[in-house]
Amino acid sequence: MNKLAIIILHKNLNEMLFKCLKSIQEKTTLKEYHVYIADTGSEKSNLFELQLYLKENFKQRKNVTLISFDYYDFGKNVNEVIQTHLKDEDLIVFCNNDIEFITNCLDEMVNTYTMHQNVGTVGAKLYYQDNSIQHKGIYLKRDNNNIAISHNNLRERDNFQIENDLFVKGNTAALMLIDKNTFEQIGRFPFNYIDSLHDVEIALRCFLQNKHNILCGKALAYHYESQTRKSNGRLVTQDYQTLKSFIFQNLTQLESIL
């Protein structure tokens, strides 16, 4: 039986996190999972409120761990949680604190993982609060010396349609499953991204290892990104250049998916 580690980075937005945790508890039938909440500098009052919530709502305290960081760096935070705090879990799910499950996402994503061979990442179909699609796999396309990056079917509406598994170029780490051994094999999250696109390189590294990235069409969730994320254009540009450099360094092997 697969054991699941769910890693959630968090800071201050307790109501969002509580909604996320509640949906995990209500929608998940898997028994072997452990939630690791990495707090990256919440104010003392918010941290106390979070500790109280966990005490009151996770009766089996053994399946939740609160970890404190005094800084935020997505790649470094996540890598340290995995390297230092994970126990015997063999599957990892990265989950944003602004995710709310619509279906039993964890069960379905694990099912997708077990049904296929050579799996890299497994993602979920995510929706904005207005019920339009936020993520249905990562879109990548080369245009001479540029790389177009987006999400498939962005802002379309599909009335929460349940679909078969789809092979995609990548998945967002807002809600993404990966085998722990695969994660270690491809070198964990890179440190040279500042704000975003770590997950795109992870997907491409999986492809370089002849592994598939799959979107689980039965895993549906809200991603309240517009409420929690404020994009910094300068950082986005820097991270884009970092990813572009990685792609062109490996263009011979990646060209078939671009």
- Burial of 183 (C-beta count, 10 Å sphere; 0-12/13-18/19+): buried
pLDDT given at position 214: 98
- The reported pLDDT for the residue numbered 236 is 82
The two three-digit tokens of residue 153, written as one number: 């079917």
Q: Which regions of the chain are under pLDDT 50?
A: 228-229
Q: Give the residue extent of every domain in the chain.
A: 4-257
Question: pTM score > 0.85 for this model?
Answer: yes
Structure tokens at 178: 């990966």
Question: What per-residue confidence (pLDDT) applies to 87?
Answer: 87
Q: What is the pLDDT of residue 158?
A: 96
Q: Which fold has domain 4-257?
A: Spore Coat Polysaccharide Biosynthesis Protein SpsA; Chain A (3.90.550)
Do the beta carbons of residue 67 and residue 50 sit within 8 Å? no
- Report pLDDT for 225: 77
Backbone phi and psi for residue 158, each to the nearest 5 degrees, phi listed first: -135, 10
